């Protein structure tokens, strides 16, 4: 078995003359996407001038090259009418999206696996994207798990989804391998350790590709290991590699399994508490923080506007002039504009450049009511906004401190409970160790007295 991408760029050699004939450019599969029918060697300006070699004319797929009987095995695409339509459509299976019939997206076909002896496509490598591949690795989907294919979409069975999710690779596989899950012992205590391991890996999924010395893929990563795979690996001398790619868990008794699961849960809980503690230090109640921020921003806008001229006439809803063009903004003007619903208009009309107004005809003929000369200096709005900011700040700090103290108390309680469980697990572990040692001492055969005299004689 080989990957489709593994043959691209390889040389095609003549068995008869030992010469290099061409280089493989592409792989052609049939309409059902379950058989490789030919290899494209050269792409001409016209499709009819492209060179291909049918799969049935290939002698062998080697590790570094593909061998054909002679140069006559290669021909123009027009010489093979049954292959020409497949080359012309050039519908690639790689790059198509993988969906269930219920519309769930499960990635993109990245590559395919095929049997080099028959050209039969065995399955496909499915990628969930760079991040997903790094975290969980790519997945293997066999051909018989595909319901139907289209020009853009490949539909798979629901059972295939469960199989894909069960496959482990990337960082996920590395972590899983470091702390392997609890499993069962071998079928027979009389079997050898190697036989037990062979039996244990059958039915498990390979976490890495296994290849022989010729580069042939014995088992694809994510493919379920069968008895035939084990026998094939033994025959090719790759059995240790196969066993290592799908390590079987060591037998663990029920109490120890329970303690292991509990310890893992406590560790996860401790990590979560550390995360939430850090998060609590970085964030606050979102609604109050947004309200406080908006209030502070509005207050800053008002403070920045006071003392500056306006660039247009500000009117209230009765068309009374609050400020005339070029008038200086006062706190009373801010309050009047706010009462008249024109505060946004006022703050959007603040002149921040050099004041050079000279055209009296631009001014309204009525004197403003909130000019510097007439301003009384009162602005309840500003006082209200400032008070709101100060109150919100105090409330937020009080609530933040109370929440922090409560969360810390709860975390300390959980930590004490986890420590108590850890001590109990250590005690049970010590008891199991003592019991095992005691049983071992009981099984030690008694010493026999040797008649040294008879030995000497």
Q: Which of 89-93, 223-227, 241-245, 358-362 has the highest mean pLDDT?
A: 223-227
Per the model's pLDDT, the better-predicted residue between 233 and 452 turns out to be: 233
> Alpha-carbon distance 25 to 44, whole Å?
12
What value does the mean pLDDT take over residues 309-313?
88
Domains 2-89 and 97-167 fall in the same CATH topology: yes
Q: What are phi and psi of 377, to 5 degrees?
A: 85, 10
Largest pairwise CA distance in the chain: 143
pLDDT confidence of residue 73: 92
Tell which wins on pLDDT, 93 or 344: 344
- How much is the pLDDT for 188? 37
Distances (CA, A) of 443 to 81, 89, 253, 319, 430: 78, 75, 21, 107, 20
More confident residue, 444 or 36: 36
What is the gyration radius of the CA atoms in the chain, in angstroms? Answer: 39
* pLDDT above 90: residue 2: no
Q: Which two tokens stand for residue 217?
A: 């893929």
pTM across the whole model: 0.41
Mean pLDDT of 430-436: 78
157-166, 213-222, 229-238, 247-256: least confident range: 247-256
Greater model confidence, 257 or 88: 88
Spatial separation of the C-alpha atoms in residues 205 and 173, rounded to whole Å = 11
Q: What is the mean pLDDT of residues 333-347?
A: 85
Question: Whose CA is closest to 113, among 235, 218, 228, 243?
Answer: 218
DSSP 363: S
Residues 6+ apart with CB under 8 A from 238: 210, 211, 212, 218
pLDDT at 407 over 60: yes
Tokens 């947004």 locate to 290
Give the closest residue to 91 by CA, choosing from 152, 164, 161: 152
Q: Which two tokens stand for residue 444?
A: 């030690």
Q: CA–CA separation, 144 vs 32, rounded Å?
A: 12
Contact 12, 65 (CB under 8 A): yes
Average pLDDT, the chain: 74
CA dist 114 and 96 (Å) reads 18
Residue range 379-396, pLDDT digits in tens: 676 777 778 777 877 887
CA-to-CA separations, 211 to 2, 18, 264, 457, in angstroms, rounded: 9, 26, 35, 63
Per domain, the residue ranges of the chain are 2-89, 97-167, 193-245, 286-378
CA distance 264 to 272: 12
Q: In the CATH scheme, what architecture does the domain 2-89 have?
A: Roll (2.30)
Give percent above pLDDT 70 in the chain: 67
**Cα–chain-centroid distance for residue 428?**
38
Confidence of residue 12 (pLDDT cuts 50, 70, 90): very high
Place of tokens 């002039």: 321
pLDDT at 429 over 90: no
Pair 432, 425: CB distance under 8 Å = no
Residue 134 has pLDDT above 60, yes or no: no
389: CB partners within 8 A, 6+ apart = 292, 295, 296, 299
Calpha distance 170→132 (Å, rounded)? 9
**Assigned CATH topology for domain 97-167:** SH3 type barrels. (2.30.30)
Confidence band of 16 (pLDDT split at 50, 70, 90): very high
Position 452 scores a pLDDT of 40
């Amino acid at each position: 078995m080989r990957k489709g991408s593994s043959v691209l760029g390889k040389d095609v050699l003549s068995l008869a003359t030992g010469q290099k004939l061409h280089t493989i450019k592409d792989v052609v599969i049939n309409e059902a996407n379950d058989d490789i029918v030919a290899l494209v060697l050269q792409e001409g300006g016209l499709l009819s001038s492209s060179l291909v070699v049918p799969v049935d004319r290939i002698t062998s797929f080697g590790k570094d090259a593909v061998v054909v009987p002679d140069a006559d095995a290669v021909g123009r695409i027009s010489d093979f009418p049954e292959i020409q339509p497949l080359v012309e459509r050039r519908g690639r299976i790689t790059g198509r999206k993988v969906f269930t019939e219920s519309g769930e997206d499960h990635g993109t076909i990245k590559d395919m696996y095929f049997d080099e002896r028959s050209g039969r496509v065995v399955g496909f490598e499915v990628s969930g994207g760079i991040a997903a591949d790094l975290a969980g690795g790519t997945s293997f989907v066999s051909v018989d798990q595909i319901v139907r294919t289209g020009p853009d979409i490949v539909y798979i069975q629901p059972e295939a989804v469960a199989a894909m999710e069960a496959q482990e690779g990337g960082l996920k596989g590395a972590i899983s391998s470091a702390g392997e899950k609890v499993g069962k012992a071998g079928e027979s205590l009389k079997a050898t350790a190697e036989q037990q391991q062979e039996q244990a890996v059958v039915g498990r999924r390979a976490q890495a590709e296994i290849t022989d010395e010729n580069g042939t893929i014995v088992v694809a990563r994510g493919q379920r290991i069968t008895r035939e795979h084990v026998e094939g690996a033994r025959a090719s001398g790759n059995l240790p590699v196969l066993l290592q790619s799908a390590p079987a868990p060591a037998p663990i008794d029920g109490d120890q399994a329970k303690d292991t699961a509990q310890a893992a849960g406590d560790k996860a809980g401790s990590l979560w508490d550390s995360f939430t503690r850090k998060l609590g230090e970085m964030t606050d109640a979102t609604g109050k923080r947004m309200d406080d921020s908006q209030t502070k921003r509005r207050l800053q806008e008002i403070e920045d506007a006071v003392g500056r001229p306006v660039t247009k006439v500000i009117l209230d809803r009765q068309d009374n002039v609050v400020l005339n063009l070029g008038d200086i903004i006062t706190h009373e003007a801010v309050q009047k504009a706010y009462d008249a619903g024109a505060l946004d208009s006022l703050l959007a009309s603040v002149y921040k450049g050099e004041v050079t107004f000279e055209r009296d005809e631009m001014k309204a003929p009525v004197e403003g009511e909130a000019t510097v000369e007439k301003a009384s200096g009162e602005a309840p709005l500003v006082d209200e906004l400032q008070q709101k900011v100060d109150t919100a700040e105090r409330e937020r700090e009080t609530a933040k401190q109370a929440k922090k103290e409560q969360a810390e108390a709860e975390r300390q309680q959980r930590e004490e409970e986890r420590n108590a469980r850890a001590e109990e697990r250590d005690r049970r572990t010590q008891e199991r160790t003592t019991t095992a040692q005691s049983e071992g001492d009981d099984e030690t055969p008694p010493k026999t007295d040797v008649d040294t005299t008879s030995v000497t004689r």
